[in-house]
Amino acid sequence: MVTGAIVTVLFTGVRAVMGLVPSWAPVTNPFTSVSFSFGGMLGSMNGYFPISVLLGCLVLLLSLKVFLLGWRVVLFIYHQFWGAD
């Protein structure tokens, strides 16, 4: 009973001192504000120049390029077998 009271007083004092220390944690995602501002900027520019159409075309061209590269790899592997034309 006396030991419990001493431990309670001791840890209450520690908790009071630690309550004075400011809490701080590093930012979990530092790019959140940058991505929101960049997206807002692209959205505002979309009225002057169709950014969404441009990005869609770039995605389409990139996916076509990846598909054609994969097709060339398949043909390369096929032509490695002896006697293949």
Is the pTM higher than 0.75? The answer reads no
Do 50 and 56 form a contact (C-beta atoms < 8 A)? Answer: no
Over residues 68-80, the mean pLDDT reads 91
Over residues 6-32, the mean pLDDT reads 79
pLDDT higher at 54 or 66: 66
Phi/psi of residue 51, nearest 5 degrees: -65, -40
Distances (CA, A) of 8 to 5, 13, 17: 5, 9, 14
Per-residue confidence band for 72, with pLDDT thresholds at 50, 70 and 90: very high
DSSP string, 11-31: HHHHHHHHTTSPP----S-TT
Rounded to whole angstroms, the Cα distance separating 40 from 78 reads 48
pLDDT for 70: 96
Range with the poorest average pLDDT among 4-8, 31-35, 53-57, 80-84: 31-35
